[in-house]
Amino acid sequence: MSQPSRPKSPDDQTAMYIRVKRNKTTYFLQCVPSETVLQIKEKLEELIDQPVNDQRLILMPNREVLDDSKSLADQKVENDAVVALTLRKDDNEFEEVNIVRPNDFYQSREGDGGSNW
C-alpha cells in the first residue's frame, strides 16, 4: 500500500547521498542513482570552486576512477558510498588519493591523552 503523504518519485532529492572525501574534509552530496558523474562534479564545482575538468572522482575502497558520462548506478555508486576527490596539480597531473582518517590522526598523537569527553 502506498502512502500518498510520502512521495516516492525518482526525482526525490533525498534518494541517496554520497560522501566525497579529500584530506580532512568530507562533502555530503544528495543525488539520485540516475545522475551522471559529470553532474556530481558540477555540484562540487559550486562548493569548491574547482572546474569539473580539474576534478577526478574515485570510488572507494577499490579505487575505481569514475567515468563522467556514466551514471552513478552504472558504476555501482550506492547510498552512503565513499568517493575520493583528487584535483589536478600545477604540472597537469592529478594528485594521489589522500583521505586522512581520524584513527591515523590518533596514532600520530599517541601519548598526549586525547580523550574528548
Partner 1 sequence: MKKEDTVKLISAEGFEFVIDKKAAMVSQTIRNMLTSPGSFAETEHGEVTFPEINTTILEKICQYFYWSLQYASGKETEFHIEPELTLELMMAANYLHT
Query: Rounded to whole angstroms, how far apart are CA atoms 12 and 108?
Result: 42
Minimal distance, residue 24 CB to partner 1, in Å: 5
Using the Cα atoms of residue 69, residue 70, residue 71 and residue 77 in order, give the sign of their dihedral: negative
Rule CB under 8 A: say whether 80 interacts with partner 1. Answer: yes
Minimal distance, residue 79 CB to partner 1, in Å: 8
Binding segment toward partner 1, per CB under 8 A, in 21-29, 55-63, 67-75, 89-97: 21-29
Total length of the chain: 117
85: buried, middle or exposed (CB in 10 Å: 19+, 13-18, 0-12)? buried
Q: Which of 57, 75, 63 is nearest to 19 (CA)?
A: 57
Toward partner 1, which CB reaches closer, 48 or 91? 48
Rule CB under 8 A: say whether 100 interacts with partner 1. Answer: yes
Question: Does residue 17 contact residue 79 with C-beta atoms inside 8 Å?
Answer: yes
Rule CB under 8 A: say whether 89 interacts with partner 1. Answer: no
Enumerate binding residues for partner 1 (CB under 8 A).
Answer: 3, 6-8, 12, 14-17, 24-30, 43, 46-47, 79-80, 100, 102, 105, 116-117
